[in-house]
Structure 1
Amino acid sequence: MTGGLRHYEMSYDRPADLAEVRAFVRASAGHLGLPERRADLLTLAVSELATNTLQHTAGGGRVRLRAEPGRLLCDVIDRGPMRLLGREMPAAQEVRGRGLAIVESICDEVGIESEDGSTRVCLTFLLEVEP
């Protein structure tokens, strides 16, 4: 946690860091008020993105979580190219390509920005969801 804000951040740069990234996201999401089941979904989404970072870019990445009124925001930042949203889930026989489709299907919102050689994927989870 940094400063007086409810803001958590960590960096990762090797495959061995992925377990720590997942534990960090899960714990931080809980501290920020995300219910357990939704924190599990956020952890899955970040794991998919962090794995993509390590497989397709150089230099690793960062994960940053913060709470705003009614929602939790999670940024996954790396030096990779801009990603396209709106992907279809690949056919069952395809070996790869499900990561972003999974992320989009389990998050309340997903946004992507690219600036100064960095790409930021912003995941939004509402803190209170109607049953």
Structure 2
Amino acid sequence: MAPLSLEYSTAADLGSVRAFVRTQALAAGMSQARTELLMLAVNELATNTLQHTTGGGRVSLWAGDGQLYCDVVDQGPPRTFPRPMPAADAPRGRGLAIVEQICDRVETISGPDGTTVRLRLHL
């Protein structure tokens, strides 16, 4: 499966991001349950892009070697993984920790196009 991408720049685009992820993941053979988890993870990353960076972002998905890969690219700083789960009474900060719990592997890559958070899930 060749990478397919979708750009987003406003909160109104989040529904399209989730629909894009759903369509591509199911087409790659991912189960409905794993697809729902991937949609949650990507929605969290895209929401963070819109809240904490400028210029929007891009989501790309492709499959290979029994895995689904998903890149979320924005102009934000590199994220660090692993992430501890914040205390129950913390007002914020759970999103990236949840993303890490949902996905089989999460890594961050910085380059000239911005910062990429790469998610991997076994099909």
Shorter-chain-normalised TM-score: which range? over 0.9
1:52-72: CA deviations, max 9, x gaps? Answer: 000000000000000102111
**Gap runs ≥5 in structure 1:** none
Percent identity (aligned): 54
Equivalent in the alignment of 2:81: 85
Count the aligned residue pairs.
123
- Asked if residue 70 in structure 1 is aligned to residue 66 in structure 2, the reply is yes
- Counterparts of 2:30 and 2:117 in 1: how far apart (Å)? 19
Aligned structure 1 segments of 4 or more residues deviating by more than 3 angstroms? none
Aligned pair in 2 of structure 1 residues 32, 6: CA closer, same or farther (>3 Å)?
Answer: farther
1:6 Cα deviation from its structure 2 partner: 3.3
Matched residues in 2 for 1:71 and 1:100: separation? 21
Deviation at 1:7, TM superposition (A): 2.5
* TM-score, with length taken from structure 2: 0.96
Q: What are the within-5 Å matches in structure 2 for residues 39-78 of structure 1?
A: 39-78=35-74
Q: Give, in whole Å, the separation in 1 of the partners of 2:37 and 2:113.
A: 28
> SS state of the match for residue 54, structure 1?
helix
Matches within 5 A, 1:1-131: 5-116=1-112, 118-127=114-123
The Cα RMSD (Å) is: 1.0
CA displacement at 1:8 relative to structure 2: 1.8
Higher Cα Rg, which structure: 1
Q: In the alignment, residue 44 of structure 2 is paired with which amino acid?
A: E
